[in-house]
Amino acid sequence: MRLEDMPSNVARFEQLMYLSLGIGIVIAALKYQSLPSGAYAAFAVLLAMMALIVWLIARRHANWARWALLVIFLVGLVSFIPYLSITLQTNLLSGILSAVQCLVQGMALYLVFTGNAVAWFRRPSEG
């Protein structure tokens, strides 16, 4: 499926979420020295799972994945605020990138739940 074949909000969602994953890779690279070696394997698995969820949402119209991603985002916000406060004090660039990543994800989720994206997730019988 080409980008031109999907609603603009879904296409922008996909682009923003992949941008967010890229920002996550940069953040992990910035923290390379301070993380245990096993954390990178877990990060790689998480990255692959998130990429799969984004693909399911954008390319396979997976409504359940859209809602699951929203829940994951909202639950993550609870721990993000204290994390951001600490990170801004210990590694300013990483903290700023983390805040940008959170904002990008929030914008992407907004797009995938509004406008022309809504019809993308309707079942054919709901049309």
What are the pLDDT digits (tens) for 42-91? 999 999 999 999 999 999 999 999 999 999 999 999 999 898 988 888 88
pLDDT confidence tier of residue 1, bands split at 50, 70 and 90: low
pLDDT of 101 > 90? The answer is: yes
Tokens coding 1: 């499926």
> Considering only 25-34, 70-79, 91-100, which range has the smallest mean pLDDT?
25-34
User: Which residue type does 13 have?
Assistant: F
Tokens coding 78: 């609870």
Between CA 107 and CA 116, with CA 111 as vertex, the angle to 5 degrees is 165
**More reliable by pLDDT, 1 or 8:** 8
In this structure, what are the phi and psi dihedrals at residue 2, rounded to the nearest 5 degrees?
-90, 155
Predicted confidence at residue 125, as pLDDT, reads: 54
Spans of all domains in the chain: 3-112
Q: Smallest Cα–Cα separation from 119: which of 2, 4, 1, 8?
A: 8
pLDDT confidence tier of residue 34, bands split at 50, 70 and 90: confident
Predicted confidence at residue 81, as pLDDT, reads: 87
pLDDT of 24 > 90? The answer is: yes
User: Which residue type does 25 have?
Assistant: I
pLDDT of 126 > 60? The answer is: no
